[in-house]
Amino acid sequence: MTMILPVLIFSLIFSSSNAAVQDFCVADLTLPEGPGGYPCKKQAMVTEKDFSFSGLATLGDTNNLIKAAVTPAFVAQFPGVNGLGISVARLDFGVGGVVPMHTHPGASEVLTVVDGIISAGFISSANAVYFKKLYKGDVMVFPQGLLHFQINSGKSTALAIVSFSSASPGLQLLDYALFGNDLPSELVEAVTFLDAAQIKKLKKVLGGTG
């Protein structure tokens, strides 16, 4: 006897609309974002390419002064993660490379060392320092919103994959926030207690005005 499974069950459920089921929401980056992410691309237009991304395959260019590079696969680069509460990035470190003190305002982060030796740390609201030397295969978590940093503490290059608990984790680099915009020097001085000379020196380097 040939068994015939019920197409009827499906037709009832999916007949009303091809938007009947939402188990993902690939970002339509051409539409205005909302608090929870971008509107969804029409399902009929979605392909497997929306769920994959090749941008992390390329070695980041660490030929710069921090000798490090961050290559993100956030929702803006990787629309398939929209609304799913997850994204990743690639960190490349040259010898002596460093990802300077920064925060992700909207996400926690887990770092996985793929190659090399990385020293990383974060500082809690209670002002405790959690600092650890990480070897190939080690992972470390940086809770949401806290200041943290990563340094290549080995003698060769290093590579890490970092995962975030948001499709759009944000990134606030401390030096850029303080010295790379038009925040007036006197204001920076007043709210950081840094010396005027120090501020002006770093403003010059980072292109800050005022």
Query: Residue 17 corresponds to which amino acid?
Result: S
- Rounded to a whole number of angstroms, the minimum distance from the CB of residue 158 to its own copies is 14
Query: Does 102 show up as a binding residue in the annotation?
Result: yes
Complex with its own copies: residue 80 or 156, whichever CB lies closer: 80
- Rounded to a whole number of angstroms, the minimum distance from the CB of residue 182 to its own copies is 6
Structure tokens at 75: 């929702």
CA distance 101 to 173: 6
CA distance 103 to 174: 8
- Rounded to a whole number of angstroms, the minimum distance from the CB of residue 64 to its own copies is 4
Structure tokens at 36: 């929870």
Instruction: Centre a 10 Å sphere on the Cβ of residue 176 and count the other Cβ atoms it contains.
Output: 15
Instruction: Centre a 10 Å sphere on the Cβ of residue 92 and count the other Cβ atoms it contains.
Output: 23
CA distance 55 to 43: 24
- Rounded to a whole number of angstroms, the minimum distance from the CB of residue 149 to its own copies is 4
- Rounded to a whole number of angstroms, the minimum distance from the CB of residue 157 to its own copies is 15
Query: Residue 136 corresponds to which amino acid?
Result: K
User: What is the separation of C-alpha 64 from the centre of its chain, rounded to a whole number of angstroms?
Assistant: 20
Complex with its own copies: residue 156 or 187, whichever CB lies closer: 187
**Phi, psi values for residue 111, rounded to 5°:** -100, 135
Query: Does 104 show up as a binding residue in the annotation?
Result: yes
- Rounded to a whole number of angstroms, the minimum distance from the CB of residue 172 to its own copies is 5
User: What residues have CB less than 8 Å from 78, skipping those under 6 apart?
Assistant: 53, 55, 87
Task: Give just the sign of the alpha carbon dihedral 22, 25, 26, 29.
Answer: positive
Q: Which residues are annotated as a binding site for Mn(2+)?
A: 102, 104, 109, 148
Q: Which residues are annotated as a binding site?
A: 102, 104, 109, 148
